[in-house]
Amino acid sequence: MDDEHDDRKVTRRSNEECRRLAQRTKEHYRIGRTWPVNIGRVLRSRTILTVRGEKPLVYRVVSDFALGLKDAKTELIDGSVVITTKQSVDSSLLWGDRRTRMTMAHELGHGVMHAEEGTVDHRATGATGTTTISKMNASESAEHQAKVFASAFLIDDQRAAELASLLDIALEFLVSVSAAEICFERLQAQREREAAAARVMEENRKFQALINKPQEKDYHLQALCPACRRQTLLPLGTKVGCDGEGCGYIGDHPEDN
């Protein structure tokens, strides 16, 4: 769904910052490197650590009719973060539906980053997180930030990097294929950057070794040794000496003759 009315401009945050906030949230709930994340338990924990500090968390389940075309919404009411969702969505969450898990992690991201008095963040049925605002400036899009947060909250990067495909990621962490694809492509790009950086460092190492290598100088005279007839004469003051194996000749400098 591409609808600017389901999105709004918020404080600028990079994808990396959104992921850091997701990790901080996991630490708050003492999830650690546990997966699949029990998002239902998190929503019923009654507390949330927002960017403005810890606040009460209220999780409400209402009839599908009450929310209409919205799967869920997040708002700040009297100092409490209130996340409201449809009965059908909550039921799907309990069954471990992958898309629903992303939806509710998305709402949790709104609660952590965007909940303000008088504002409501909706998650429309069928929404993808792509909106007019996110296309123009993703770093200021509430929907884009929440999408990045949700992926980082549910997917453990270290484990995901060990998996062979985006489908493996989707199944391992019970997330949507689109979320797994985003994670897989990001990790793949990171691996390519690291490999490129390693190649540059190796080439630099070789170059530095080349330019810093002591240059061997040939101090032998062009004249041949009178004794062994090899080009092995070295200047010894006013004399010359042969450093050829088994020779040992010492005599006058050839140029003096």
Position 57 confidence tier, pLDDT thresholds 50, 70, 90: very high
Considering only residues 221 and 101, tell me which one the structure prediction assigns the higher pLDDT.
101
**Which of 27-41, 43-57, 67-81, 113-127 is predicted least confidently?**
113-127
Rounded to whole angstroms, the Cα distance separating 106 from 151 reads 8
| pLDDT single digits (tens) 129-160 | 577 777 778 899 999 999 999 999 999 999 99
Query: Which residues pair with residue 86 across a beta bridge?
Result: 62
Q: Where are the domains of the chain?
A: 4-191, 220-251
| pLDDT single digits (tens) 5-20 | 578 899 999 999 999 9
| pLDDT single digits (tens) 165-175 | 889 999 999 99
pLDDT of residue 1: 41
Rounded to whole angstroms, the Cα distance separating 184 from 192 reads 12
Write the DSSP symbol of residue 208: H
Reduced to 3 states, what is the DSSP secondary structure of residue 202?
helix
- Single-letter amino acid, residue 141: S
